[in-house]
Structure 1
Amino acid sequence: MLDCPQTGNEDGLSKPTISDLARAAGVSVTTVSHAFSGRRRVDPETSKRIHALAEQMGYHPSSMARALRSGRNGTIALASSMPFAVAAGPSRLGFLMEIAASAAISALTRDLALCLIPPHPAGKGYASVGFDGVILVEPMRDDPLVAHFEQRKTPIVSVGTVPGRPDIPAVDMRSGETAAMLLDHLARQGCRHIAALIGSAPRTSQIEAEAAFRTLAASPDRLLKLSEEEGEEIGYRETLRLLRDDPSIDGIFAAVDAFASGAVRAAHELGRVIPDQLRIVTRYDGLRAKLSQPPLTAVDLHLPAVAEAAVHLLFDRIEGTSRTVAAELPELVVRQSTAVC
């Protein structure tokens, strides 16, 4: 047991200071600071003694002081230019929210807090807020969020590669392979006239989905590029038009789950029985896919692991390391929208 000298005022209620701890340990204030910050080497035995005394004395380093010394505030951000119409899902528990929940847990294990930035024009409402780094979820080509944070010299990593920016570390979501998996499934289920509903925003997930459809589909002209802003409604309207104009369509590949929800509504309205007369698949296995009637065949993108990888990449980027990693291969989840019972 270490002898801990009395510190503070006479009533014993004041908090011990770094100077109190330095005197108790018989070292300089600078040595104590380095023992907690890790910015300079401190003899292991000395560091151990300092930490033991700090625990006995009830000393805790000031988070504000640490931030001033390191130039960091211990907060990272998660942001996306995807509108809530496609990113949030029912009850706002969609793609972006699932990544945020897992990223927040991963960040805490590294003593970082996660701030979720709701989708809105870059800089609006947070231009004055500083972050140690930011994770961007599926940014577009020339995404204003990239420009905003680069201007502020904020380290960036992305979930999904950034089109035209191989220099930005990313978790590659393997979107081309995912689209090919879904299209192959439709073909194996007997679909010969497949249409595609793909987001018009130039995100890697949509660019690679379009490329896969044009390569693999028997009729690549049945491709619609839809606005993310309109979400389910545009999926509904365009599917109504598609099925009325071309009743031979027997499969729909929706690269955005909000579009898939709209396609299901349209099929029901036209009396097209799913999956007997029409099969529908979508990319993201979220609440929309699970709660749909019938439930939608989708893909498990392993988002908790993706979020963990993104936080790890950002931590490395903050420390000066830059690299891109590939996500685990997504897994097909077959449900009633394509499987005839």
Structure 2
Amino acid sequence: MTPRSQTVTSNRVTMRDIAQQAGVAVTTVSSALHNTGRVSPDLKQRIHDIASQMGYRPKLAARLLRASKTGRLALIMIVGANKGATVISQSGSHGPIIAEFVSACSRMKVGFEIEYLESGKDQVAPECFTGGQADGALICGQVNSPKLAKWFKDNAKQYPCVYLDHVGEYNVWNNTGLGIYNAVQHLAALGHRQFAYLGVDSNYPVHRSGIDEFKRAVADFQLDDQQGQWIKLISKQSGHNREQWIDEQLVNAQSLLTGQNRPTAVIGQGVPDARCMVYAAMEKGLSVPRDLSIITYGMAADAMKSPPCLHCVEPDFSTMVQSALNMLRARLAGEAVAEKSVMVLPQLVERRSVAAVCED
């Protein structure tokens, strides 16, 4: 005998049942239970209470989907307004960081995403997370958007992040200060005693540590910076364009070479600062490095684009990115992270802008 077909009535509570009980749309219930969309806190709490009272349980498939991982990591680049990804990836530290991230993920056989977010733009969340494309990310650049900063903070457990050279709960820093300190020590070992520093007056931690460690090195090695008078910093004003900035820094560089008493060694906070110093020396008929030694902080590739090729304190991007990825993977695995903040020593790349002090 062929068994009769039976209609099985399920007692499982659905979101439609909750919506009818609460007197709202099904989409509102979904938003409240999944923390998506815009639902007032009071209504969200009422919907959760009704769901609990009715014994609502999500479908097993849905629970498994939310618990699943993509196995992919992201690199989120915070870039300036009106700067395209192509331009950013080829300039400054962004290019080396991207290259090291791609290389490290390839070595670890881990899939990856790279996303660009505009600094200061009122964004709510990165697409690599909301689109389910990554489990965690390295963040390069300062998060200026209050909404985006709040999103990262509120979702730190679900989407762990590690910051590169920027403030965050978990971060990896380039130890700029110690790199500058070691550069001064290197020059002092070559007989230099009169030192100057050319840079920008900024509260940005990397810049601040460079200035502070320069001062410490001058004191430790009993060097002469004219009691700080040879530390030339231009103010970081939002109204300055690049041409104005270069003009002002060139004036600072020229002032260091006025008169008989002048520095024999200069630390540039960045490659443009060092180039201003080279140009000022040429105007005075001074030779680099015979009459004036210069070391810059920045990218070694940028430091050799025009003569003379500059000695350069360059961040160790390979170690920085690998350390950040190790920290991120530990967080994703639920392992304890021994150090939430790691400092990586930069390396001195020697080129053609440093020589022993000339005694004549």
How is 1:277-288 mapped onto 2 (pairs within 5 angstroms)? Answer: 277-288=291-302
Q: Which residue of 1 aligns with 2:165?
A: 160
Q: Partner of 1:77: helix, strand, or coil? A: strand
For 2:280 and 2:299, locate their aligned partners in 1 and report how far apart those are by CA, in whole Å.
20
Q: Partner of 1:291: helix, strand, or coil? A: coil
What amino acid does structure 1 have at the position aligned with 2:74?
I
Tell me the CA shift for residue 161 of structure 1: 5.8
Q: Which residue of 1 aligns with 2:119?
A: 120
For 1:147 and 1:223, locate their aligned partners in 2 and report how far apart those are by CA, in whole Å.
37
1:300–1:331 contact (8 Å) kept in structure 2: yes
What amino acid does structure 2 have at the position aligned with 1:150?
K
Q: Partner of 1:117: helix, strand, or coil? A: strand
What amino acid does structure 2 have at the position aligned with 1:195?
A
What amino acid does structure 1 have at the position aligned with 2:180?
A
Q: Which residue of 2 aligns with 1:223?
A: 232
What amino acid does structure 1 have at the position aligned with 2:349?
V
Q: Which residue of 2 aligns with 1:94?
A: 92
What amino acid does structure 1 have at the position aligned with 2:311?
T
Cα pair distance change 1:265/1:206, threshold 3 Å: same
Q: Which residue of 2 aligns with 1:317?
A: 331
2:289–2:353 contact (8 Å) kept in structure 1: yes
1:250–1:277 contact (8 Å) kept in structure 2: yes
For 1:103 and 1:261, locate their aligned partners in 2 and report how far apart those are by CA, in whole Å.
30
Tell me the CA shift for residue 99 of structure 1: 1.1
For 1:115 and 1:175, locate their aligned partners in 2 and report how far apart those are by CA, in whole Å.
26
Q: Which residue of 2 aligns with 1:74?
A: 72
Q: Which residue of 2 aligns with 1:37?
A: none
Give the aligned CA root-mean-square deviation in angstroms.
3.9
Q: Which residue of 2 aligns with 1:182?
A: 183
Q: Deviations over 1:110-134 (max 9, x none)?
A: 5231314265325559755525333
Q: Which residue of 1 aligns with 2:15?
A: none
For 2:308 and 2:276, locate their aligned partners in 1 and report how far apart those are by CA, in whole Å.
13
Cα pair distance change 1:102/1:179, threshold 3 Å: same
Q: Which residue of 1 aligns with 2:135?
A: 132
For 1:89 and 1:182, locate their aligned partners in 2 and report how far apart those are by CA, in whole Å.
30
Q: Which residue of 2 aligns with 1:243?
A: 253
What amino acid does structure 1 have at the position aligned with 2:140?
V
Q: Which residue of 1 aligns with 2:102?
A: 104
Matched-pair identity in %: 20
Q: Which residue of 1 aligns with 2:174?
A: 173
Tell me the CA shift for residue 78 of structure 1: 3.0
Q: Which residue of 1 aligns with 2:277?
A: 263
Q: Deviations over 1:90-116 (max 9, x none)?
A: 982431210111112223425231314
Tell me the CA shift for residue 266 of structure 1: 4.1
Cα pair distance change 1:90/1:317, threshold 3 Å: closer
Q: Partner of 1:316: helix, strand, or coil? A: helix
1:239–1:266 contact (8 Å) kept in structure 2: no
Cα pair distance change 1:301/1:77, threshold 3 Å: closer
1:302–1:330 contact (8 Å) kept in structure 2: yes
Q: Partner of 1:338: helix, strand, or coil? A: coil
Task: State the TM-score, normalizing by the size of structure 1.
Answer: 0.64
Larger CA deviation: 256-265 vs 296-305: 256-265
Q: Would you say 1:296 and 2:301 are equivalent positions?
A: no
1:198–1:226 contact (8 Å) kept in structure 2: no
How is 1:9-48 mapped onto 2 (pairs within 5 angstroms)? Answer: none
Q: Which residue of 2 aligns with 1:305?
A: 319
Q: Which runs of 5+ in 1 are unaligned?
A: 1-64
1:235–1:263 contact (8 Å) kept in structure 2: no
Q: Which runs of 5+ in 2 are unaligned?
A: 1-62, 219-223
Which has the larger Rg? 2
For 1:173 and 1:202, locate their aligned partners in 2 and report how far apart those are by CA, in whole Å.
16
1:172–1:327 contact (8 Å) kept in structure 2: yes
Task: State the TM-score, normalizing by the size of structure 2.
Answer: 0.61
Tell me the CA shift for residue 74 of structure 1: 2.6
Q: Which residue of 2 aligns with 1:339?
A: 355
What amino acid does structure 2 have at the position aligned with 1:224?
L
For 2:153 and 2:312, locate their aligned partners in 1 and report how far apart those are by CA, in whole Å.
35
Tell me the CA shift for residue 223 of structure 1: 3.5
Tell me the CA shift for residue 176 of structure 1: 2.1
Cα pair distance change 1:112/1:269, threshold 3 Å: farther
For 2:153 and 2:264, locate their aligned partners in 1 and report how far apart those are by CA, in whole Å.
45
